[in-house]
Amino acid sequence: MADKHKHVDEVSGVETTGHEWDGIRELNNPMPRWWVYSFYATVIWAIGYAIAYPSWPMLTEATKGVLGYSSRAEVSVELNAARAAQAGNLEQIASSSVEEIIANPQLQKFAVSAGASVFKVNCAQCHGSGAAGGQGFPNLNDDDWLWGGKPEEIYQTIAHGVRHAPDGETRVSEMPPFGDMLTPEQMQQTAAYVVSLTQAPSQPHLVEQGKQVFADNCASCHGADAKGNREMGAPNLADAIWLKGEGEQAVIAQMKTPKHGVMPAWLPRLGDHAVKQLAVFVHSLGGGE
């Protein structure tokens, strides 16, 4: 309880609050009136606000407020507006081929940025966020294409996938395992030949024999000059890009027990818009033909 005898400061003649610290007493000056009125105004404002807007938490949800405002409704309005703004572009994309989209600068720009975001959600897991791929997963930035780098070819690959069994139109290629068909020496010779096409082999004397083995066993798919065949999805072995690893050991391993990557068909999952946008995006990465 405060002291019944009210203490009055001698110098200022103002009553003190009764609080004292080391002999220093707090004067009980009134609040400035503008301050007090501002405080009352905020209280009134708060009451009005609590009535008008969602505010009081109940067991399952908060009170609704008489204005019926909701931030979720506000977001959905914005989302609808964004969808409406994109509608024109999406219609045009639906009625155009991938090549036509690329020819139209405005549509191309729209498709690239839309494709980039679709890519980050669905494709980056295998191909990397920059589409640089990795061992067994093709780099989409370079100019080496297993199935062709033209816009429609890229579209076809994305839409129906690679070795994706449920899709009838999927890209299929399969390299037979040569582990039983060729002797280890023959495989060594072939690897020496394949590597010699782009760099120095470790055993140059094997190259000539290897060329013969290649012509007999591999040329039917990879071509007489080893430059591959896109019809069949046979990789170009005469370039500097190695999907399954560089060097003779990697080549031998792939000959013995070939590994085959699988890419799902994306058309059923993402729809035509998104696949077209993806094709435009992939084509724009710098290696598109």
Beta strands in the chain (DSSP E): 16-21, 24-27
User: For residue 50, which of 60, 59, 63 has the smallest C-alpha distance?
Assistant: 63
10 sits near another protein (criterion: CB under 8 A):
no
Instruction: Report if residue 241 touches another protein, rule: CB under 8 A.
Output: yes
Of positions 130, 136, 176, 177, contacts another protein by CB under 8 A: 130
The answer to whether 250 and 242 are in contact (CB under 8 A) is: yes
Contact between 128 and another protein (CB under 8 A)? yes
| Interface stretch with another protein, choices 68-76, 124-132, 185-193, 255-263 (CB under 8 A) | 124-132
Name the 3-class secondary structure at 157.
helix
d(CA 64, CA 134): 53
Judged by CB under 8 A, the stretch of 27-35, 201-209, 218-226, 259-267 that binds another protein is 27-35
Under rule CB under 8 A, which residues in 259-288 are in contact with another protein?
Answer: 284, 286-287
Which is closer to another protein, CB of 105 or CB of 168? 105
Output DSSP code: residue 183.
-
Does 13 interact with another protein (rule: CB under 8 A)?
yes
149 or 161: CB nearest another protein: 149
Among residues 96, 122, 141, 209, the one that binds another protein under rule CB under 8 A: 141
281 vs 275: CA distance, rounded Å: 10
- Selected binder of another protein within 20, 74, 91, 143 (CB under 8 A): 143
Decide if residue 173 touches another protein (CB under 8 A): no
Instruction: Assign 3-state DSSP to the chain and report helix, strand, coil percentages, each to 5.
Output: 50, 5, 45
Contact between 129 and 281 (Cβ < 8 Å): no
- Cβ proximity to another protein: between 81 and 240 the closer is 240
Q: Decide if residue 103 touches another protein (CB under 8 A).
A: no
Is the Cβ of residue 118 or residue 187 nearer to another protein in the bound state?
A: 118
The CB-of-261 to another protein minimum distance in angstroms stands at 19
Residues 6+ apart with CB under 8 A from 78: none
Cβ atoms of 192 and 206 closer than 8 Å: yes
* Those residues with Cβ within 8 angstroms of residue 252's Cβ, 6 or more apart along the chain or in another chain: 187, 188, 191
Minimum Å gap between C-beta 41 and another protein is 14
Q: Which residues bind another protein (CB under 8 A)?
A: 12-14, 27, 29-30, 32, 105, 128-132, 139, 141-144, 198, 236, 239-241, 284, 286-287
